[in-house]
Amino acid sequence: MTATLIDGIGLLATQDPGLGEIAWAALLVEGDRVAWVGRSADAPPADARVDAVGRCVVPGFVDSHAHLVFAGDRAAEFAARMSGQPYGAGGIRTTVDATRAASDEELGARAARLVTEMLRQGTTTVEIKSGYGLTVRDEARSLAVARMLTEETTFLGAHVVPPELADDPAAYVALVTGPMLEACASHARWVDAFCERGAFDADQARAVLEAGAARGLGMRLHANQLGPGPGVQLACELGAASADHCTHLSDADVEALASSRTVATLLPGAEFSTRSPYPEARRLLDSGVTVALATDCNPGSSYTSSMPFCLALAVREMHMTPAEALWASTAGGAAALRRDDVGVLRPGARADLVVLDAPSYVHLAYRPGVPLVAAVWRAGRPVV
């Protein structure tokens, strides 16, 4: 196995609680893993050496919430919203029509392009949801497409009730928990539902998550995005890996998150793109809740694939410190996916890292919108 030493790292932000941040660091890559990290002066011998010329190195971003399998475009809806029209869950149906009409090849090519776009911006692990097919066939092929791009695939048949069953949501929940789950489970690691007024209520979301769990899928939940609701407490009660959005929280919601293993995944791209109030990250962090940041990349409410952009929003708009935002974008995302091999740079972790064209990760928020990603390594190989 070839050992490559990445040397001359001005600042290595490991996200490992024991290792912390190391100035003038080096990192040894062996195969697809990190073999050693420490001070440059103590670096072990290696077969090859790469000079980071004083740049900052951070773990590859872990984007734990993205909807990448779709067709169509909703730029007109965005423009209308920016001219004052409100956002509702129903806009999803526009994308459903386009997705059903698209071929597998088109869906695959579009999703692959977004994954590449993400990789160029430093994202080395991405979760991809279905949820724009809403038929047995279209959800199953959406997940088959996602499975070719990531191991973190999520069955989101319960995204919205499709128009053909709008009058009979109970029949749709029966379809999701029955034949649709049957067709999708082998392509999925997770099950998710959109627990929101206009989508699925607590009983329906519970039925979907419990059915998925019975098939061996991990649980995650879209919760409390558009208004207060039962989603967050349901996610905590069921032991879901994450409750996503968390924009409208009661004290009981915060308490439930703080006393559970459920990660609060904040998606500030959605509030940015819908011109809505941001989630209260400070309140969550100060209460001891584990917080992750993700893009929610989707064509309706957050069409950004950029973790650096979300990190900058978290710092500027949600009062997270740059260090907290970096952790939430890396190790926090990993926690939301119940992974300990990504989002951190320590011996044994997958060698996924970003070399920033900056002396510190603070520049990710300090210089928003600037392409600071100089290089990306995934599984021990330079890919950007």
Residues 109 to 148 in contact with Zn ion, rule: CB under 5 A: none
Q: What's the length of the chain?
A: 384
User: Which region, judged by CB under 5 A, interacts with Zn ion, from 167-175, 280-288, 293-301, 316-324?
Assistant: 293-301
Measured from the CB atom, the residue of 40 and 305 that comes closer to Zn ion is: 305
Q: What is the largest distance, in Å, between two alpha-carbon atoms of the chain?
A: 68
Please, which residues have CB within 8 angstroms of residue 18's CB and are 6 or more apart in sequence?
346
Measured from the CB atom, the residue of 271 and 296 that comes closer to Zn ion is: 296
User: Which region, judged by CB under 5 A, interacts with Zn ion, from 5-13, 235-243, 289-297, 333-341?
Assistant: 289-297
Measured from the CB atom, the residue of 14 and 301 that comes closer to Zn ion is: 301
Q: How far is the CB of 336 from Zn ion (least distance, A)?
A: 13
Q: How far is the CB of 222 from Zn ion (least distance, A)?
A: 5
User: Which region, judged by CB under 5 A, interacts with Zn ion, from 94-102, 105-113, 296-304, 322-330?
Assistant: 296-304
Measured from the CB atom, the residue of 63 and 296 that comes closer to Zn ion is: 296
CA atoms within 13 A on the CB side of 366: 9
Q: How far is the CB of 67 from Zn ion (least distance, A)?
A: 6
Q: Are the C-beta atoms of residues 285 and 301 closer than 8 Å to each other?
A: no
Name the phi and psi angles at 310, rounded to 5: -65, -35
3-class secondary-structure state, position 350: strand
Q: Please state, in angstroms and as integers, the Cα–Cα distance from residue 198 to each residue in 11, 98, 194, 226, following that order.
A: 47, 21, 9, 10
Q: How far is the CB of 166 from Zn ion (least distance, A)?
A: 21
Q: How far is the CB of 296 from Zn ion (least distance, A)?
A: 5
Measured from the CB atom, the residue of 22 and 66 that comes closer to Zn ion is: 66
- HEC assignment per residue over 12-65: EECCCCCCCEEEEEEEEEECCEEEEEEEHHHCCCCCEEEECCCCEEEECEEECC
Measured from the CB atom, the residue of 180 and 195 that comes closer to Zn ion is: 195
Would you tell me which residues interact with Zn ion (CB under 5 A)? 296
